Amino acid sequence: MYDLAVRLRKRAAYAKLVAYDGIWTIVVSSAESPVAAGEVVEKWLANVHPKLISSFFDSKQLLDLVDSFGKLSNPPEINVSEFVLREYPKGPTHKTWEKGKPYDRSVIERHILENNAPLDSIKFKVSAGRDSFDCRISRNGHLVLYVGSISQFMSLIVSPLTDVAKANYDFFRHREREFIEGKVVLNEIRLAADEKEVTTERLERLGGALCDAFVGAILHSGNPMLYVNAIDKLDGSVFDVCAYPDEIVVMPYSKASPSSLIRLYMLITEVVPSARRRG
């Protein structure tokens, strides 16, 4: 465990860096709002990239965690206060949960489909007897404890999501293009997509988003089919993205870091929310 003082100009966040099964968790304490403290930490992470990178969780993984509480031997009570969708390029849209209404996963999933936007975060209270805590979990790896039992928060939120973060990281490792016995071996990442969602217009939007986030060149757009070659300015990772109405294929080159592929995946799922990993 390491003590950190993360500073950004006059702003600061104090934290502990804790190792858990190969994943470093930054536990932040700050007088500023969670959003402001998160910004300070994100800036710091950008400076130490790629030694440390942010984790991520997709919509299904966030909702699966909330559902998992109901499978415990003594299920706690869950009270959602709000959830946030992130639509590209508009940004976040806040949805207030009806006060007193029980948690229902299908309500959030319906909003995801209707707004064609992934779940960005969900804020809720967990009550188990005398122990309770208010928290927010987010797709960018920010896990916020507002008030309550830190031991319950660590065991019910941080520990299981750390396992998910490690599994996500492992999925994107060792994806570089290989040369074996004189032959090129591709370690592609294939994402299934909803044909009704992936229109020509959305493919054009995806191409623009890729070129904005990376150094990209659109090699083909139309039919509908999109082919983009992109370079990550942060670490020099290179990959091609080929998108069809029912599938998006990422083809990494000989240099393709997990952190770069994770950023790419997060962007793709923000523009095309129905995109999901195969395998």
User: What is the chain written as a DSSP string?
Assistant: -EEEEEEETTEEEEEEEEEETTEEEEEEE-SS-HHHHHHHHHHHHHHHTTTS------HHHHHHHHHHGGGSSSPPEEEEEEEEEEETTTEEEEEEPPTTPPP-HHHHHHHHHHHT--EEEEEEEEEETTEEEEEEEETTS-EEEEEE-HHHHIIIIIHHHHHHHHHHHHHTSS-S-EEETTEEE---EEEE--TTT--HHHHHHHHHHHHHHSEEEEEEEETTEEEEEEE-TTT--EEEEEE-SSEEEEEE-S---HHHHHHHHHHHHHHSTT-EE--
- pTM for the model stands at 0.86
Q: Do residues 244 and 198 lie in contact, with contact meaning Cβ atoms separated by under 8 Å?
A: yes
Q: Which of 210, 211, 76, 48 is nearest to 156 (CA)?
A: 76
- Domain ranges in the chain are 2-48, 59-171, 178-277
Q: Are 41 and 52 in contact (CB under 8 A)?
A: no
Q: List the CATH code of the domain at 178-277.
A: 3.30.310.10
Per-residue pLDDT of the chain (279 residues; tens, 9 = 90+): 777 777 767 776 677 777 766 677 777 776 667 777 777 777 777 777 777 778 899 999 999 999 999 888 889 999 999 999 998 888 899 999 998 899 999 999 999 989 989 999 999 999 988 889 999 999 988 888 889 988 899 899 988 999 999 999 999 999 998 888 888 888 999 999 998 888 888 999 999 999 999 998 998 877 789 999 999 998 899 999 999 999 999 999 989 999 999 999 999 999 999 899 986
CA 103 to chain centre: 22
pLDDT value, residue 266? 93
